[in-house]
């Protein structure tokens, strides 16, 4: 029976991939994402400048041959800062989601599998975290531990676990209501094994979709936190805190090279992630094959 | 149904709110910095004043005592006095600003749903048309721009460059409070706050309607010869709209969080600026007051979401 | 024959009327003062601690004296005063007929009430420390007595204050608004904080309180019965403006006066109909060394670091010229400011390196200076929220790197930073001080001060501070402070960065302002609001 299951999953995977590729927007999004990730990883090769080296003589210069995207108010090269900032913004997004997924997976499984009191306690905890007005709590925590890259990741991650947890729990519940479990028990398989071997793969699709969208949300939140001065602290560049520097109206009006790169970067990456997420959702939907 | 709601409130809501308040109080008390920081720099400050102030605010007591004192007062519907120098009742501070935040949130919901639903419907009706693709693209764009960034651009274009809308704030002193005025002050902030809603609602509406539109029972209606328009608007819509209500419940926390940023950009006199200021000053009662209020509202929102979910899907029944 | 004479006389008369009418300030209009932070609603001069509430208090209440544009005390409610030879007694003679906004006359009783409340044992405000030198204040505060001998009402319009020992700044502390005792004396002092009066203040000042809309505006109307002459304008509004929207508000003529940031200077200066004034403030910012650490205990190290930081570039570039490099804790705006004997520590990295080398510091294998097991690698605490601070910190870090000193920047939220500073858990940090009109540095610089952040214990400094406090002769006082500044400039417990500068933008329709503003600005700290007029 295991072998057959394995086979089925393989074909499903291939099917999903094929469906995904048919969606041109989603494919384009994936390509864009890969490009951004690569440019972030290979940033030191793509630019000679140190994103943190300030050069007050060259401040506020528009794009030129030396500085393809111009310089900021401390004379730092904007292209370099955008590339290195990508590292930070993308990392924050990925780690934050990693944290929330991990916590959510564990707690959601426990809640769904054991049910009863365990379920109630965990769900109440989820409600509590869910009620935290995200920004206000983020501000408070940033104050305790100080604004830093790591703290931002942890804050975003810890406050988002109820989402994945509820998802996983819902999958468990769905399975519990089917006759599948009774039937499998009848054959002799232990309920635990069944749950985990069948729930997790089924949960994979909504989880994956949810994860991609959460990365997008985390990147936006990081930008928002930095805007309030609570995200990644200077001098490290992040797309969010680069945007924050362009807040005064005269910079917004007269020096667009300061905010267009990070703003466009956030926008394009988040857009791409959303396309991918949506494409994934459609790809996992077997009804797509019919049309 | 009422039994369900009551159970939800007492078995779920109260413990959650209690737990939340405890955790929150703990978090803000642990934070370094104290409410008496603003006394730094007062000329010739006598050190006894700092001690006296701390005692007055209850800061010399252990955390649990402070928390229980706060809890006791809250149960008597007393939110306490602000820790800043004016020592005004927290309830007053919140009452003064709440209408502004509620107005903004409502306006953004009205915009979000008012624009999002029709767009979503049309998008589903004319699936795969140019309109559909354009709307879908716009929807994606809408949820991909950081709200504060969008707000800054709106401010720049409409207030600075074109000078047709005010640059934030609210009515000036002595300015006549006309309906047109309300709209002009509210427009940019609510657009900014509502942008993500418009996009989200449009997509959700489209998906929901599409799911319904291709169902068998509608095929029967079409086979009977009913015009498509009737099929869509009368039959499909009714079933597609209910899930949207659940969306409302889910979007409420996001709207409150977003309001804080939007209020900051547009100097909208709502709770957002009070909340940020309170956190910076370690104004515990104000922080607790605002956060608890939001928590209650979010909880109510989730009840609304669950109920409408049940209404939408007759298979789910709460007993 | 008389006709032409009559006509001529008539013409002359009308001419003079027309001419004088042209001179007479136009009446009416609304003046809008822009503010970026919301007042709290504590419009009570003895309980307030916030700057923005202070603005409203300034126009609703009058004090015994007011501070003029050259920072000198001038009569207000007190038409004159006598200071005794030994400097221990001040007798104020009040005007007769000054009325509160509700029509009741202001007498010495109200003055006594105002100051005795500050000394009351149940008083919840922060002003006690400024008046605890009055005779009998301590006993009264501790509940041992019922009266304060140091506050003596001689008659309805005469009141005498006495202190135990001569206290030079005494006169300058009597600027606080006088409260109407008839409205407040029945309220227990401990509950004064909660009094509705604080949200609906009644004073004797040029403007009457009308309305306070949180986060939006405060509206006041002219006091037509103001003792010193009704204001020319009808209404005064303090309008909340978002920091980013300031240029727009000015351009759209929505505010008449507002302070702007250096970044907005160019844009606002170019606006037609707006004048911009730049004036020095009584403030300075600094980098503080924790002298409790051995490495910073050596003055040579502190001086070297000061020589090694390009403060001129900081002022010229980062502050865009809006600042003055500071070398002592007394700003240029103060009468006690001096340059003689003050070393300007001009940026000189070679000299800095030399000083460090002479003090025995050498570069270790990692390139960082070290000596006897100590390293010149330290944390620099920077409170968040100021772009200029951020840039300054980066410049500082870079300059220090050139010397072989490693600076680790730690950006912290302000409140959290203050916590660290109060707990003395810092290596270096940067903040600023806003100073009172009187140059007495005791609060900040005396070794017993709560805010002796650097850990500066110097007997000579303490002695000079104490002497300056009790010296009644202004000339001698100036000399004492000059001595003291020289000492601080040499010891450098903190590195002084820049004196503050305010940029005020004012609409040209406002007439009667001080066009050569001192540290109190073109409106002389709101004093001129009672005399300016608007010409559209």
With a CB-CB cutoff of 8 Å, which residues 124-183 of chain B face chain A?
Answer: 140-141, 143-149, 152-153, 155-156, 160-161
State residue C343's pLDDT score: 93
**Is the pLDDT reported for residue B319 higher than 50?**
no
> Long-range contacts: C189-196, Cβ < 8 Å, 24+?
C189/C117, C189/C120, C189/C121, C189/C122, C189/C123, C189/C124, C190/C122, C190/C123, C190/C124, C192/C44, C192/C47, C192/C117, C192/C123, C192/C124, C193/B87, C193/C47, C193/C124, C194/B81, C194/B87, C195/C44
Q: Which residue has the higher pLDDT, C160 or A20?
A: C160
DSSP codes of every residue in C16-37: HHHHHHHHSPPP--EEEEEESS
* Cβ neighbours for C7, distance < 8 A, ≥ 6 positions apart: none
Residue A10 lies in a domain: no
State yes or no: pLDDT of A133 exceeds 80: no
* Contact between chains at B148 and A223 (C-beta distance less than 8 A): yes
Q: Which residues contact A101 (CB under 8 A, 6 or more apart)?
A: A164, A207, A211, A214
- Separation of alpha carbons C275 and C505, rounded Å: 6
Please give the residue that has the higher pLDDT: either C495 or A190. Answer: C495
Q: ipTM score here?
A: 0.82
Position A27 in a domain: no
State both tokens at A78. 């904007």
Q: Tell me the count of A-B CB pairs closer than 8 A.
A: 125
3-state secondary structure of B216: helix
Tokens representing residue C321 in the block: 């010229």
Q: Do B264 and A228 touch (CB under 8 A)?
A: yes
List B residues 211-230 in contact with A (Cβ-Cβ < 8 A): none
pLDDT in tens, C340-398: 999 999 999 999 999 999 999 999 888 899 998 899 999 999 988 788 898 899 899 98
Q: Which tokens is B164 given?
A: 């047709």
The reported pLDDT for the residue numbered C237 is: 94
For residue A124, give its domain range: 36-45+55-286
- Of B45, B85, B273, which has the smallest distance from its Cβ to C50's Cβ? B85
Longest CA–CA span in chain A (Å) reads: 79
Q: Each residue of A157-186: pLDDT tens digit? A: 888 888 888 888 887 777 776 766 667 667
Residue A11 lies in a domain: no
**Residue A92: inside a domain:** yes
User: Does residue A22 belong to any structural domain of this protein?
Assistant: no
Does the pLDDT value for residue C13 go beyond 90?
no
Flag whether pLDDT at C11 surpasses 70: no
Checking if the pLDDT of C63 tops 70, the result is yes
Confidence of residue A291 (pLDDT cuts 50, 70, 90): very low
Percentage of chain B modeled with pLDDT above 70: 87
Q: Does the distance separating the beta carbons of A233 and C384 come in below 8 Å?
A: yes
Q: What pLDDT is recorded for position A166?
A: 84
Poorest-pLDDT segment among A35-39, A225-229, A251-255, C479-483: A225-229
Q: ∠ at Cα A174 (A172, A177), nearest 5°?
A: 110
Q: C63-102 burial by CB neighbour count: b if 16+ within 10 A, else e?
A: bbbbbebebebeebbbeebeeeeebbbbbbbbbeebebbe
Q: Tokens 């409408």, residue? A: B308
Q: Which helix (H) or strand (E) holds C382?
A: strand C377-383
Q: Say if residue A121 is exposed, middle or buried (CB neighbours under 10 Å; 0-12, 13-18, 19+).
A: middle
Which residues of chain A are within 8 Å of residue B19 when distances are taken between CB atoms? 124-125, 128
- Range C303-313 burial, b when 16+ CB lie within 10 A, else e: bbbbbbbbbeb
DSSP-assigned letter for residue B39: G
DSSP codes of every residue in C237-273 = EEEE--GGGHHHHHHTT--SEEEE-HHHHHHHHTSTT
**CB within 8 Å: A266 and B15:** no
Contacts of B14 in chain A (CB under 8 A): none
Q: Does residue A161 lie within any of the structural domains?
A: yes
The pLDDT tens digits for B85-113 are 888 999 999 999 988 898 999 899 888 88
Indicate the helix (H) or strand (E) that contains C482: helix C474-491
Judge whether B235 is closer than 8 Å to chain C, CB to CB.
no
Which residue is listed with tokens 């927290």? B90
Averaged confidence pLDDT in chain B: 81
Identify the weakest region by mean pLDDT among A199-208, C67-76, C253-262: A199-208
Q: Which residues of chain B lie closer than 8 angstroms to A137, CB-CB?
A: 24, 27, 291
Question: Quick check: C447 and C461 in contact, CB under 8 A?
Answer: yes
pTM of the model: 0.85
Q: List, for residues B29-67, the tens digit of each pLDDT value.
A: 877 778 888 788 787 888 888 888 888 888 888 888 989
pLDDT tens-place string over residues C33-45: 999 888 988 999 9
- Helix, strand, coil percentages for chain C (3-state, nearest 5): 35, 25, 40
List of chain C residues whose C-beta atoms are within 8 Å of the C-beta of residue B31: 416
The segment with the largest mean pLDDT, out of B240-244, C363-367, C459-463, is C459-463
The whole-number average pLDDT for the span C107-111 is 94
Q: Provide the pairing of β-strand C30-35 with C235-240.
A: parallel
Q: What does the pLDDT read at residue A290?
A: 46
pLDDT tens readout for residues C474-512: 899 999 999 999 999 999 999 999 999 999 999 999 999
User: What is the helix, strand, coil percentage profile of chain B, to 5?
Assistant: 75, 0, 25
Chain A to chain C Cβ contacts (< 8 Å): 55
Flag if A223 and B149 touch (Cβ within 8 Å): yes
What proportion of chain A, given as a percentage, has pLDDT over 70? Answer: 83
DSSP state, residue C160: E
Tell me the shortest Cα–Cα distance from A1 to chain B, in angstroms: 33
**Residue A95's CATH number:** 1.10.3720.10
Gyration radius of chain C's alpha carbons: 27
Q: Who has greater pLDDT, B215 or A250?
A: A250
Residue C277: strand, helix, or coil: strand
Overall size of chain C counted in residues: 536
Cβ-contact C411, C384 below 8 angstroms: yes
Q: Are A289 and A19 in contact (CB under 8 A)?
A: yes
pLDDT, tens only, C391-446: 899 899 989 999 999 999 988 878 888 889 999 999 999 999 999 889 999 989 99
Could you tell me if residue A258 is inside a domain?
A: yes
The answer to whether A246 touches A159, Cβ cutoff 8 Å, is no
State how far the alpha carbon of C522 is from the alpha carbons of B136, C57, C72, C507, in Å: 56, 19, 16, 12
Of A198 and A262, the one with more pLDDT: A262
**pLDDT value for B317:** 55
Token pair of C236 as six digits: 């005064």
pLDDT interval class at B138 (50, 70, 90): confident
Task: Show which residues on chain A lie within 8 Å of chain B, measured between beta carbons.
Answer: 124-125, 127-128, 130-137, 139-141, 143-144, 216, 220, 223-224, 227-228, 240, 243, 246-247, 249, 252-253, 259, 263, 266-267, 270-271, 274-275, 278
Q: Does B27 contact A243 at a Cβ distance shorter than 8 Å?
A: no
B29 touches chain A (CB under 8 A): no
Number of domains in chain A: 1
Determine, yes or no, domain membership for A16.
Answer: no
Residues 254-273 of C with CB under 8 A from A: 261, 263-264, 266-267
Contact C127, C141 (CB under 8 A): no
- Give chain C positions within 8 Å (CB) of A251: 263
Share of chain B above pLDDT 90, in %: 5
Predicted local distance difference test score (pLDDT) of residue B256: 79
Q: Of the given ranges (A201-215, C6-20, C161-175, C375-389), which has the lowest mean pLDDT? A: C6-20
Backbone angles phi, psi at C83, to 5 degrees: -110, 130
Query: Across the interface, do C442 and B42 touch by the CB < 8 Å criterion?
Result: no
| C90, C82 Cβ separation under 8 angstroms | yes
Predicted local confidence at residue C109, as pLDDT: 94
Q: A145 or A283: which carries more pLDDT confidence?
A: A283
Taking CA atoms, C371 is separated from C307, C357, C374, C437, C495, in Å, by 20, 10, 5, 43, 22
Name which residue leads in pLDDT, B259 or B222.
B259
**Separation in Å, CA C434 to CA C53, C329, C331, C441:** 17, 11, 10, 12
Nearest-neighbour CA in chain A from C39: distance (Å): 22
Nearest CA to A258 out of A90, A40, A67 is that of: A67
Q: Which among A5, A4, A3 is positioned nearest to A202, based on CA atoms?
A: A5
| CA distance readout (Å), A12 to A201, B19, C364 | 11, 43, 62
Q: Which residue from C267, C394, C411 is facing A74, i.e. has the nearest CB?
A: C394
For residues C427 and C395, the answer to whether their CB atoms sit within 8 Å is no
* Burial (Cβ within 10 Å: 0-12, 13-18, ≥19) of residue C39: buried
Asked if B39 is an interface residue toward chain C (Cβ–Cβ < 8 A), one would say: yes
Residue B56 has its nearest CB partner, among C47, C124, C130, at: C124
The verdict on a CB contact (< 8 Å) between C318 and A56 is yes
Across the range B115-132, mean pLDDT stands at 81
- What's the full length of chain B, in residues? 319
| Chain A hits for C313, Cβ within 8 Å | 56
């Amino acid at each position: 029976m295991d072998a057959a299951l394995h086979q089925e999953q393989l074909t499903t995977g291939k099917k999903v991939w094929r469906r995904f590729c048919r969606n041109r927007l989603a494919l384009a999004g994936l390509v864009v994402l890969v490009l951004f990730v690569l440019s972030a990883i290979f940033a030191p090769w793509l630019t000679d400048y140190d994103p943190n080296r300030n050069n007050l003589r060259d401040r506020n210069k528009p794009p030129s041959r030396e500085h393809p995207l111009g310089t900021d108010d401390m004379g730092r090269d904007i292209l370099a800062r955008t590339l290195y900032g990508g590292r930070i913004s993308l990392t924050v997004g990925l780690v934050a989601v990693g944290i929330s997924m991990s916590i959510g997976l564990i707690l959601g499984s426990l809640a769904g599998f054991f049910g009863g009191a365990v379920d109630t306690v965990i769900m109440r905890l989820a409600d509590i975290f869910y009620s935290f007005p995200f920004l206000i709590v983020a501000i408070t925590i940033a104050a305790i531990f100080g604004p830093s890259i790591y703290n931002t990741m942890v804050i975003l991650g810890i406050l988002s676990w109820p989402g994945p947890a509820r998802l996983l729990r819902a999958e468990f519940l769905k399975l519990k209501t089917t006759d599948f479990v009774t039937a499998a028990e009848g054959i002799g398989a232990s309920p635990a094994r069944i749950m985990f071997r069948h729930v997790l793969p089924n949960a994979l699709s909504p989880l994956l979709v949810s994860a991609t969208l959460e990365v997008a949300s985390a990147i936006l939140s990081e930008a928002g936190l930095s805007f309030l001065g609570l995200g990644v602290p200077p001098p490290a560049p992040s797309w969010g805190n680069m945007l924050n520097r362009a807040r005064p109206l005269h910079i917004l009006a007269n020096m667009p090279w300061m905010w267009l790169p990070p703003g466009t970067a956030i926008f394009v990456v988040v857009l791409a992630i959303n396309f991918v997420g949506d494409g994934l959702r459609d790809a996992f939907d077997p009804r797509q094959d019919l049309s | 149904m009422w039994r369900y709601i009551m159970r939800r409130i007492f078995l779920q809501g109260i413990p959650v709110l209690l737990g939340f308040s405890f955790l929150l109080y703990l978090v803000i008390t642990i934070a370094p910095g104290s409410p008496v920081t603003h006394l730094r720099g007062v000329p010739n400050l006598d050190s006894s004043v700092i001690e006296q102030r701390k005692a007055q605010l209850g800061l010399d007591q252990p955390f649990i005592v402070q928390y229980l004192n706060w809890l006791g007062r809250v149960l008597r519907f007393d939110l306490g006095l602000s820790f800043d120098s004016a020592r005004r009742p927290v309830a007053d501070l919140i009452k003064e600003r709440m209408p502004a935040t509620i107005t903004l949130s409502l306006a953004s919901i009205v915009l979000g749903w008012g624009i999002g639903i029709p767009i979503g419907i049309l998008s589903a009706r004319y699936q795969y048309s140019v309109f559909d693709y354009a709307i879908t693209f716009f929807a994606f764009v809408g949820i991909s721009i950081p709200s504060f960034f969008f707000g800054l651009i709106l401010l720049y274009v409409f207030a600075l460059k074109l000078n047709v809308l005010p640059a934030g704030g609210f009515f000036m002193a002595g300015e006549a409070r006309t309906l047109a005025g309300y709209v002009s002050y509210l427009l940019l902030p609510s657009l900014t706050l509502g942008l993500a809603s418009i996009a989200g609602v449009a997509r959700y509406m489209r998906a929901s309607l599409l799911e319904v539109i291709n169902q068998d029972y509608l095929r029967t209606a079409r086979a009977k010869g009913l015009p498509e328009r009737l099929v869509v608007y009368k039959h499909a819509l009714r079933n597609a709209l209910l899930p949207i209500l659940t969306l409302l419940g889910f979007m409420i926390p996001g709207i409150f969080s977003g309001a804080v940023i939007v209020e900051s950009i547009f100097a909208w006199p709502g709770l957002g600026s009070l909340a940020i200021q309170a956190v910076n000053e370690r104004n515990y009662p104000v922080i607790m007051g605002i956060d608890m209020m939001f928590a209650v509202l979010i909880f109510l929102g989730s009840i609304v979401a669950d109920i409408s979910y049940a209404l939408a899907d007759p298979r789910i029944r709460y007993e | 024959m008389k006709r032409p004479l009559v006509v001529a006389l008539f013409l002359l008369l009308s001419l003079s009327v027309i001419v004088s009418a042209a001179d007479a300030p136009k009446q009416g209009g609304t003046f809008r003062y822009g503010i970026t932070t919301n007042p709290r609603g504590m419009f009570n001069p003895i309980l307030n601690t916030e700057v923005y509430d202070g603005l409203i208090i300034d126009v609703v209440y009058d004090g015994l004296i007011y501070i003029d544009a050259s920072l000198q005390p001038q009569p207000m409610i007190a038409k004159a005063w006598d200071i005794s030879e030994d400097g221990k007694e001040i007798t104020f003679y009040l005007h007769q007929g000054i009325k509160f906004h509700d029509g009741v006359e202001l007498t010495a009783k109200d003055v006594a009430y105002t100051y005795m409340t500050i000394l009351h044992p149940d008083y919840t405000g922060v002003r006690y420390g400024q008046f605890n030198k009055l005779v009998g204040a301590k006993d009264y505060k501790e509940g041992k007595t019922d009266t304060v001998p140091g506050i003596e009402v001689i008659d309805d319009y005469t009141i005498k204050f006495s202190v135990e020992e001569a206290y030079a700044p005494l006169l300058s502390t009597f600027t606080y608004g006088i409260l109407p005792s008839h409205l407040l004396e029945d309220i227990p002092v401990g509950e004064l904080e909660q009094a509705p009066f604080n949200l609906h203040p009644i004073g004797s000042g040029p403007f009457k309180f009308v309305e306070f809309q949180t986060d939006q505006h405060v509206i006041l109307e002219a006091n037509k019965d103001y003792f010193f002459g009704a204001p020319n304008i009808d209404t005064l509004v303090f309008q909340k403006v978002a920091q980013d929207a300031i240029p727009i508000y000015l351009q759209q003529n929505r505010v008449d006066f507002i302070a702007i940031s250096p970044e907005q200077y160019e844009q606002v200066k170019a606006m037609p109909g707006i004048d911009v004034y730049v004036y020095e403030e009584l403030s300075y910012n600094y980098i503080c060394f924790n002298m409790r650490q051995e490495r910073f205990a050596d003055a040579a190290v502190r001086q070297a670091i000061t020589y090694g930081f390009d403060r001129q570039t900081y002022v010229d570039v980062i502050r865009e010229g809006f600042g003055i490099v500071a070398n002592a804790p007394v700003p240029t705006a103060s009468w006690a400011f001096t340059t003689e004997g003050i070393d300007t520590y001009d940026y000189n990295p070679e000299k800095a390196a030399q000083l460090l080398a002479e003090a025995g510091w050498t570069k270790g294998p990692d390139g960082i200076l070290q000596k006897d097991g100590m390293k010149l690698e330290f944390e620099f605490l920077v409170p968040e929220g100021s772009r200029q601070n951020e840039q300054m910190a980066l410049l500082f870090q870079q300059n220090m790197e050139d010397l072989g000193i490693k600076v680790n920047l730690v950006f912290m939220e302000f409140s959290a930073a203050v916590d660290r500073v109060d707990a003395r858990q810092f290596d270096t940090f940067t903040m600023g001080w806003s100073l009172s009109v009187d140059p007495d540095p005791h609060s900040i610089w005396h070794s017993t001060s709560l805010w002796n952040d650097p850990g500066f214990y110097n007997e000579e400094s303490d002695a000079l501070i104490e002497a300056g406090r009790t010296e009644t002769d202004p000339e001698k006082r100036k000399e004492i402070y000059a001595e003291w500044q020289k000492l601080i400039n040499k010891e450098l417990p903190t590195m002084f960065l820049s004196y503050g500068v305010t940029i005020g933008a004012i609409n040209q329709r406002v007439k009667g302002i001080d066009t050569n503003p001192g540290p109190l600005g073109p409106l002389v700290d709101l004093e001129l609001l009672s005399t300016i007029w608007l010409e559209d």
